[in-house]
């Protein structure tokens, strides 16, 4: 009789002990600050598209500071300080087309 063959093990992935202590989502609290900085350079449509990707991005992108920066940049106005309204509503009102007029329109609507 021949030698007894040893059972070979298949390749398996190892589980890192660090992976057991990580939160369920892949984003950390430090990355929220990074994404807030990135959001300063995005327009309103891009902010909304990013917010619709997942709950985490929705929470980060819907912060008032993100929309304040977008309003101040896109409307080119000075910072008024503390305000009583939501910046996202101001941004939507400014860019939804309801506050514009056509060139041939006699009465301007602002």
Q: Domain ranges in the chain?
A: 27-95
**CB–CB of 75/97 below 8 Å?**
no
Cβ partners under 8 Å of residue 72, min gap 6: 78, 79
pLDDT, tens digit, 9 for 90 and up, residues 62-108: 999 999 999 999 989 899 988 898 999 989 888 887 766 555 556 65
| CA contacts within 13 A on the Cβ side of 10 | 2
CA-nearest of 35, 71, 74 to 54 is 35
pTM: 0.63
**CB–CB of 67/89 below 8 Å?**
no
- Match domain 27-95 to its CATH number in 3.90.550, 1.20.1280, 3.40.50, 1.20.120: 1.20.1280
pLDDT of res. 12: 58
């Amino acid at each position: 009789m021949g030698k007894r063959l040893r059972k070979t093990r298949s390749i398996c992935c190892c589980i890192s002990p660090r992976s057991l202590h990580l939160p369920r989502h892949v984003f950390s609290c430090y990355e929220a600050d990074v994404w807030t900085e990135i959001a300063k350079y995005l327009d309103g449509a891009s902010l909304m598209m990013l917010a619709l990707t997942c709950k985490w991005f929705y929470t980060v992108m819907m912060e008032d500071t993100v929309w304040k920066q977008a309003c101040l940049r896109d409307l080119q106005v000075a910072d008024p300080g503390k305000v009583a309204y939501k910046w996202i509503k101001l941004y939507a009102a400014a860019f939804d087309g309801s506050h514009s007029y056509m060139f041939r329109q006699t009465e301007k609507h602002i």
